[in-house]
């Protein structure tokens, strides 16, 4: 066997029509696609500027309710901004922050998980002790602490959430690497003279990617809820940006007088997105990675 061939355990899977597979969560995937499309084309789709309202038109109810009008399908908020437009731009914020944070956490956690599991020794000890410690802090509390230090901005939130949640990837990926290490193809690669770095990135990484993808899907929901909570508390996305969590915080101002749409609608959006991501993640977990079933 020459050094240039990389024996991997997993042969390239034949292309399959995913949506035809048994139990494929079609509706959740369609919802996620819809949210993604709205996020991408918010500029075109949204009828109003999400950050500018007119005080003359504050607290308009949705169109179907007494006092509502077709001009503002889902009503307006406490400074007269169009709720529908804010929800659409809010999808963009949630998507960008969610995906970027999950990606950041995934890259960092997978990297450290592989290094920790493959190299072992004191590197493993250091990374795992750190992981254990960070996992002890509830994600939200830790994120609030970091946000309080660095101050609110969308970019900061991405780094904060990534920095808080990489530990979950590291834990799982490390344990997978530990079992991969014992497998024949890794021994073959060692015999073939591959360097440790080559083994980690060419042999181990392709075999843990599935798990990383499954984890990322499951993490998306957690990250989005955490982002919404941070924004709700005022340490996340800064106002007047249209984020769902911020909309909920603003909505609280009209809650006691029964302006339900300001509270119910953004929450429904969060719920739909998180539920869809969780359903997709659950399905992927069972399909792609039976080892992760107990997660």
Partner 1 sequence: MKHYIARRVGYSLLSLLLLSLTIFLFVRVTGDPASLLVEPGASPQDIENVHRQLGLDQPLWVQYWQFIASLAQGDLGQSFYYRTPVLDLYFQRLPNSLLLAAVAMAFSLLIGIPSGIIAAVRVGRMWDSAGKIFALLGLSLPSFWVGLVLILVFTVWLGWLPSSGSGTALHVLMPAFALGWYFAAAHMRLTRSSMLEVLGSEYVKLARLKGLPEALVIGKHAFKNALIPVITLAGINLVVMINVAVVVEMVFAWPGIGRLLYEGISFRDFPVVQGVVVIGGAMIILVNLAIDIVYALIDPRIRLAG
The site for partner 1 (CB under 8 A) is made up of 129-130, 132-134, 136-138, 140-142, 144-146, 148-150, 221, 225, 228-229, 232-235, 248, 251-252, 255-258, 260, 263-264, 267, 270-271, 274-275, 278-279, 282, 294
Shortest separation between residue 194's beta carbon and partner 1, angstroms: 34
Shortest separation between residue 141's beta carbon and partner 1, angstroms: 5
Shortest separation between residue 211's beta carbon and partner 1, angstroms: 20
Q: Which is nearer to partner 1, 9 or 137 (CB)?
A: 137
Contact 74, 84 (CB under 8 A): yes
Shortest separation between residue 74's beta carbon and partner 1, angstroms: 16
Q: Which is nearer to partner 1, 4 or 294 (CB)?
A: 294
Shortest separation between residue 105's beta carbon and partner 1, angstroms: 16
**Pair of tokens at residue 196:** 């440790």
Torsion-angle region of 151 (φ positive above 0: left; ψ -120 to 50: alpha; else: beta): left
Q: Which is nearer to partner 1, 56 or 136 (CB)?
A: 136
Q: Which is nearer to partner 1, 24 or 134 (CB)?
A: 134
């Amino acid at each position: 066997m020459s050094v240039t061939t990389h024996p991997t355990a997993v042969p390239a899977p034949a292309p399959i029509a995913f949506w035809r597979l048994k139990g494929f969560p079609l509706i959740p995937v369609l919802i996620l696609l819809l949210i993604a499309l709205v996020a991408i084309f918010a500029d075109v789709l949204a009828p109003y500027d999400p950050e500018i309202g007119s005080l003359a038109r504050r607290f308009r109810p949705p169109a179907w309710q007494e006092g509502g009008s077709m001009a503002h399908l889902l009503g307006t908020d406490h400074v007269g901004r169009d709720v529908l437009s804010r929800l659409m731009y809010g999808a963009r914020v949630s998507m960008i922050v969610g995906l970027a944070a999950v990606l950041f956490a995934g890259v960092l956690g997978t990297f450290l998980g592989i290094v920790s599991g493959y190299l072992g020794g004191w590197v493993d000890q250091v990374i795992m002790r750190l992981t254990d410690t960070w996992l002890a802090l509830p994600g939200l509390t830790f994120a609030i602490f970091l946000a309080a230090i660095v101050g609110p901005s969308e970019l900061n939130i991405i780094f904060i959430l990534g920095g808080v949640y990489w530990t979950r990837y590291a834990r799982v990926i490390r344990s997978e690497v530990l079992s991969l290490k014992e497998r024949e193809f890794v021994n073959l690669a060692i015999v073939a003279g591959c360097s440790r770095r080559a083994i980690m990135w060419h042999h181990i990484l392709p075999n843990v990617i599935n798990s990383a993808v499954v984890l990322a899907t499951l993490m998306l929901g957690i990250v989005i809820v955490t982002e919404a909570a941070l924004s709700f508390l005022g340490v996340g996305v800064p106002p007047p940006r249209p984020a769902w969590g911020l909309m909920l915080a603003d909505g609280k101002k009209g809650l006691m007088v029964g302006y339900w749409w300001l509270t119910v609608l953004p929450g429904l959006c969060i719920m739909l997105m998180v539920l869809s991501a969780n359903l997709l993640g659950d399905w992927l977990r069972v399909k792609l990675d039976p080892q992760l079933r107990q997660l």
